[in-house]
Amino acid sequence: MNKKTIRDIDVKDKRVLVRVDFNVPIDNATGDIIDDTRITAALPTIAYLREQNATVILVSHLGRPDGKVVESARLAPVAGRLGDLLGMEVPCASDVVGASAQATVASLQAGGVGMLENVRFEPGEEKNDPALAKKLASFADVFVNDAFGTAHRAHASTAGVADHLPAVAGFLMEKEIDYLGRVVEDPEPPVAAIIGGAKISSKIAVLQHLLSKVSVLLIGGGMASTFLKAQGVDVGASLVEDDQLDTARDVIAEAARRGVTLGLPVDAVVADKFAEDAEARILNVTAVPDGWMILDVGPNTASDYIAKLVGVRTVVWNGPLGVFEWKAFAGGSRALATALATSQATVVIGGGETVALVQGMGIADKFAHVSTGGGASLEFLEGRVLPGVAALLDK
């Protein structure tokens, strides 16, 4: 990685503003945090700064409050969970840059950790308002971005602050850039990509970018139905982007031209409706009944995909093969995840729903890297420059 990290800058006894991604799922009924993965992922950076006697001021968003104060999106429960993990009190301000934030920051001792309120309560955050960025910067001597999940956004707390403070990466940001960068720039061949999810339109740039780098490309999820229809297969009532049929044909042709092994479903788990309790059948993809829809790849497809991955050295997986949240339609994704968990390849799970899948299976620790960034990892795999990364100091 050609960006400076907290190891490359003097943070000893400094006030450090750390952008974290604590956008965690919270149970609306109880207020309990459902999954604290994003909080625990930031602990190494926080611990290092505390070891350097730095004062740590955390800034994060939660949900989509759209520039307004939304009570259910306050960060106090998150600060509470972080405090439990650190074994110390983590005070949380009731505003972002106002009197409460100023008092909270002023109260922190060296080695202390405090949190500002949800930065997206400020209307200037998502507009990258220079005035908000300057106020945030006024709290600190150094800026550390450890929020890869928001690095694709040019916001006041991800990019704007870097105009006023020395800006470096935290350990989580460093790890994300290293692993995803290796996949994009210098992967150990042969390389395979597994791309799933609902729509080609959201993944086309990734498909096009990775085609020049992979030996194997496996397609799953709802987008597979568009590929199948592009080949003349009647997929019944399955989700299809008719305006992307030519795009699918182009990908198929380009894969053939480059000698890339392309995997498309040969059988599928089909349902009579889009519902968890739908009637499910396993059929050849050419036998989908009228009014039925493909909701998962079938067992023959899962076996074929696993066979195609034998011998590959690097795998990147973004997007499940089916509606894995429902047991009847999770078989394909779970079979592939299980196989990859015991693979000798370097496997990178590229954010989003695929992360939820492997975490739910309890096998996330079996992979080389599980990205915390959904949209950010997708844009990184497209080869885009992420504003939150570009703003950091070069080595």
Write out the catalytic residue numbers.
Answer: 38, 199, 352, 375
| CA pair distance 294, 188, nearest whole angstrom | 34
Which amino acid is located at 100 in the chain? S
CA 73 to CA 95: how far, in whole Å?
12
Packing angle, helices 353-360 and 331-341, rounded to 10: 70
Amino acid identity, position 78: V
Cα 101 to the chain's mean position, in Å?
29
> Which residues 6+ apart lie within 8 Å of 94 measured at CB?
74, 100, 117
Q: What sign does the dihedral 278-283-284-287 (CA atoms) show?
A: negative
Helix (H) or strand (E) holding 283: strand 280-284
Residues in the chain: 395
Query: Which residues pair with residue 318 across a beta bridge?
Result: 195
CB contact set of 90 (below 8 Å; sequence gap of 6+) = 58, 79, 80, 82, 83, 113, 114, 115
Instruction: For residue 33, list its beta bridge partners.
Output: 26
Helices (H) and strands (E) in the chain, counts: 14, 14
CA distances from 354 to 72, 125, 260 (A): 27, 29, 23
8 A C-beta contact, residue 110 and residue 59: no
Task: Say if CB 147 and CB 60 are below 8 A apart.
Answer: yes
The whole-angstrom separation of Cα 85 and Cα 303 is 41
Residue type, 17: L
Residue 158 CA, distance from chain mean position:
16
Closest CA to 331 of 339, 340, 341, 321: 321
